């Protein structure tokens, strides 16, 4: 099969369209879907459109604009960070390719508990790696996993509090939920053969590498020395109780370093997170994958920032698709922004190179927005640069 000339990714929307065309339906649906009707996922996107920007002209700007910030104590050159999510079945480059792309873009990444590649390999590809841990298994199991992350050299822990295995086990989606195969037995290969045959470009990528789409979770708990499948890891998560603030206090104390509690939208929850040792607050609704019909976290962001003050960093995610979205979140007080689906689209299109090109679309559009606003630095942004509808903000 001949390879067509490379076409660089210019927008996240383009990357999404190309990913949809290339990936099998079940793979793309797993990436794209939100919970229930998807109302929250859609609201995450439209919320950014409801906030306007006020242009400033005639400002003498430097040739180089300042996009530097920090993420959980680490300096980064781009205020856009890779959100933790497992890269199974997108591209054989996997999380290592994502890590390399992030490092090339000058930024950090979060690595999912359910990643398809070992944490040690990812940290070697990008030292600014932060491990995402779920409450999965008993405390001894979790402590062992955390120690592995520590030995691997990750810079901090991220815990997503708004999504638990108990909820995921029975998460309805109006467009259907794909079924993940548990391993690669003969029956699985036969069942999914039509998928491989009808998506030859996706299939050939894996065949050229001598690999198959990642269905294992090497950073989860081994049983009898065997690496669990993704489904096996999910079962362990499903069997664990919903996380509590006591669990967060224990985990923060166990880790003893940079610790983000993510999936918060209310000032009260942000203050509770500070009380149990969080050094960073992640304002997020998990990209619309939790409680459907909740408003966009953009509406809650200023209230959380005010509640936190200078006691912790505040980062934002959910619905970010372009540089202007990043600029709006920063203007409302976030110190950095995390992206999930956009980097997945890039990975699906062209592996490591696709992820880097998606990151560059953010860099370019952030700089363009700063020029339009008459700003030389992201640190000059404020709510005064925005047109915020009456009643938009909550809290």
List, by residue number, the catalytic residues. 286
Taking the CA atoms of residue 121, residue 124, residue 128 and residue 134 in that order, the dihedral angle to the nearest 10 degrees is 20
Alpha carbons within 13 A on the beta-carbon side of 42: 6
3-class SS of residue 95: helix
Sign of CA dihedral 163, 164, 165, 167: negative
Taking the CA atoms of residue 275, residue 276, residue 279 and residue 285 in that order, the dihedral angle to the nearest 10 degrees is -100
Would you state the structure tokens that stand for residue 42, as one six-digit string?
A: 């859609």
Sign of CA dihedral 53, 47, 357, 4: negative
Q: CB 46: neighbour CB atoms within 10 A?
A: 10
CB 108 within 8 A of CB 76: yes
Q: Distance (Å, rounded) from C-alpha 247 to C-alpha 162?
A: 14
Rounded (5°) CA angle 230-235-239: 150
3-class SS of residue 391: coil
Sign of CA dihedral 338, 341, 346, 347: positive
Q: CB 213: neighbour CB atoms within 10 A?
A: 23
Q: Distance (Å, rounded) from C-alpha 172 to C-alpha 390?
A: 33
3-class SS of residue 159: strand
CB 127 within 8 A of CB 106: no
């Amino acid at each position: 099969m001949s390879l067509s000339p490379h076409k660089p990714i210019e927008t996240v929307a383009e990357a999404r369209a190309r990913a949809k065309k290339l990936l099998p339906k079940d793979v793309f649906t797993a990436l794209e879907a939100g919970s229930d009707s998807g109302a929250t996922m859609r609201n995450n996107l439209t919320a950014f459109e409801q906030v306007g920007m006020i242009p400033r002209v005639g400002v003498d700007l430097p040739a180089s604009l300042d996009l530097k910030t920090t993420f959980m104590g680490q300096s980064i050159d781009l205020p856009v960070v890779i959100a933790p999510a497992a890269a199974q079945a997108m591209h054989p480059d996997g999380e290592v390719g994502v890590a390399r792309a992030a490092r090339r873009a000058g930024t950090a990444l979060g690595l999912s508990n359910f990643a398809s590649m070992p944490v040690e390999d990812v940290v070697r590809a990008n030292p600014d790696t932060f491990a995402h841990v779920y409450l999965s298994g008993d405390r001894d199991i979790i402590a062992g996993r955390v120690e592995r992350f520590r030995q691997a050299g990750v810079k901090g822990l991220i815990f997503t509090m708004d999504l638990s295995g108990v909820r995921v086990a029975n998460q309805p989606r109006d467009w259907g939920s794909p079924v993940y195969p548990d391993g690669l037995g003969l029956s699985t290969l036969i069942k999914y053969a039509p998928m491989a045959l009808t998506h030859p470009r996706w299939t050939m990528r894996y065949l050229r590498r001598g690999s198959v789409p990642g269905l294992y979770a090497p950073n989860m708990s081994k049983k009898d020395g065997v690496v669990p499948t993704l489904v096996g890891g999910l079962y362990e998560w499903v069997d664990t109780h919903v996380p509590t603030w006591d669990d967060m206090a224990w985990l923060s104390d166990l880790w003893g370093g940079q610790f983000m509690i993510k999936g918060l939208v209310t000032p009260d929850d942000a203050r509770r997170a500070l009380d149990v040792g969080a050094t960073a607050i992640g304002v997020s609704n998990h990209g619309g994958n939790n409680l459907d019909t909740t408003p966009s976290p953009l509406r809650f962001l200023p209230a959380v920032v005010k509640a936190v003050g200078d006691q912790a960093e505040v980062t934002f995610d959910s619905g970010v698709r372009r540089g202007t979205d990043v600029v709006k979140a920063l203007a409302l007080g976030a110190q950095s922004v995390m992206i999930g689906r956009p980097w997945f689209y890039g990975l699906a299109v062209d592996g490591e190179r696709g992820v880097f090109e998606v990151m560059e679309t953010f860099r370019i559009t952030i700089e363009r927005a700063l020029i339009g606003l008459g700003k030389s630095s992201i640190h000059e942004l404020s709510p005064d640069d925005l047109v915020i509808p009456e009643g938009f903000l909550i809290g």
